[in-house]
């Protein structure tokens, strides 16, 4: 199964963020022109923060038709939304509280619930929105940890083999916590998958994910990156440092 990769490399994080924000704006506009709406699945972590902050500025916010956007998340921590550790809470504070998006268009995972209940609740949310077929996000942003995880698909966790549910709780032993995550199959359904990856600590693992032996138990990002889906990478120079790119 051959993937089609597109690599966009930038000198540093701020430059990458501008490019990713431009991509967000242009892609949403194109999808809205075609379908009159656009569903976006977001990730947590440090790299998207710059994009959220840019989109909230006067220079960028008017470039998006927020009334046609529908926002989802790929994973969440088991914390209430007002916690600084909440993925959706951070996006709300940095972006969605600053722009005119209808609040009923924002579909956050409820981290205040028991993780099993939160996963069931979010699966129901997806079923209600997407109807009687698997969710197909128009645009899905992901990050990657220096252990090769993406969303909350961590190495050697049971969720990596999940093929029945769209959303599942996952106990992460090394963090001694339980998270809620979309399953690999659902992430791979997205029409456009984008990885935002920055930092020198990601360089070697990114090379291994892309070119090493296929071992998704160890490197869960391979379940997405080497699934056959088309994937676009926004990388800073440090994250791209181990790759041989033309």
Element (H, E) at 19: helix 13-35
| Confidence class for position 109, pLDDT limits 50, 70, 90 | very high
Number of Cβ within 10 Å of residue 173's Cβ equals: 10
- In-domain check, residue 145: yes
What was the pLDDT predicted at 33?
98
User: Domain range spanning residue 199?
Assistant: 11-220
Average pLDDT over residues 170-199: 96
| Tokens matching residue 194 | 């984008």
| Confidence class for position 47, pLDDT limits 50, 70, 90 | confident
Average pLDDT over residues 135-163: 97
pTM given for the model: 0.96
Share of the chain above pLDDT 90, in %: 93
- In-domain check, residue 237: no
pLDDT in tens, 224-241: 999 988 899 999 999 999
pLDDT in tens, 54-88: 999 999 999 999 999 999 999 999 999 999 999 99
Average pLDDT over residues 138-155: 97
Average pLDDT over residues 14-39: 98
What was the pLDDT predicted at 35?
97
- In-domain check, residue 166: yes
- In-domain check, residue 99: yes
Q: Count up the domains in the chain and report the number.
A: 1
The CATH number that applies at residue 53 is: 3.40.50.1360
- Identify whether the C-beta of residue 195 lies closer than 8 Å to the C-beta of residue 233: yes
Could you give the CA distance from residue 206 to residue 239 in angstroms, rounded to a whole number? 8
What was the pLDDT predicted at 132?
78
| Tokens matching residue 153 | 């698909």
Average pLDDT over residues 180-200: 97
- In-domain check, residue 160: yes
- In-domain check, residue 77: yes
| Tokens matching residue 29 | 């506009």
Could you give the CA distance from residue 92 to residue 109 in angstroms, rounded to a whole number? 13
Note the maximum CA span of the chain.
47
User: Which of 6, 3, 4, 35 shows the shortest CA–CA distance to 20?
Assistant: 6
- In-domain check, residue 246: no
- In-domain check, residue 229: no
| Tokens matching residue 51 | 């994009």
Q: Is the pLDDT of residue 133 over 90?
A: no
């Amino acid at each position: 199964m051959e993937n089609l990769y597109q690599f966009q490399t930038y000198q540093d994080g701020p430059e990458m963020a501008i490019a990713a924000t431009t991509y967000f704006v242009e892609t949403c506009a194109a999808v809205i022109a075609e379908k009159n709406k656009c569903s976006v699945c977001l990730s947590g972590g440090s790299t998207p923060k710059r994009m959220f902050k840019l989109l909230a500025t006067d220079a960028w916010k008017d470039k998006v038709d927020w009334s046609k956007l529908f926002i989802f998340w790929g994973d969440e921590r088991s914390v209430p939304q007002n916690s600084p550790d909440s993925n959706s809470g951070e996006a709300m504070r940095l972006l969605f509280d600053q722009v005119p998006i209808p609040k009923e268009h924002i579909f956050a995972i409820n981290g205040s619930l028991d993780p099993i209940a939160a996963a069931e609740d979010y699966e129901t949310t997806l079923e209600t929105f997407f109807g009687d077929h698997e969710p197909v996000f128009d645009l899905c942003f992901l990050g990657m940890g220096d252990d090769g995880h993406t969303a909350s698909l961590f190495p050697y966790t049971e969720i990596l083999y999940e093929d029945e549910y769209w959303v599942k709780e996952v106990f992460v032993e090394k963090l001694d916590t339980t998270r809620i995550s979309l399953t690999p199959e659902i992430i791979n359904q997205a029409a456009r998958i984008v990885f935002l990856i920055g930092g020198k600590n990601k360089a070697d693992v990114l090379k291994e994910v892309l070119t090493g032996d296929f071992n998704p138990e160890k490197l869960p990002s391979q379940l997405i990156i080497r699934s056959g889906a088309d994937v676009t990478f926004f990388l800073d120079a440090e994250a791209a440092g181990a790759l041989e790119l033309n």
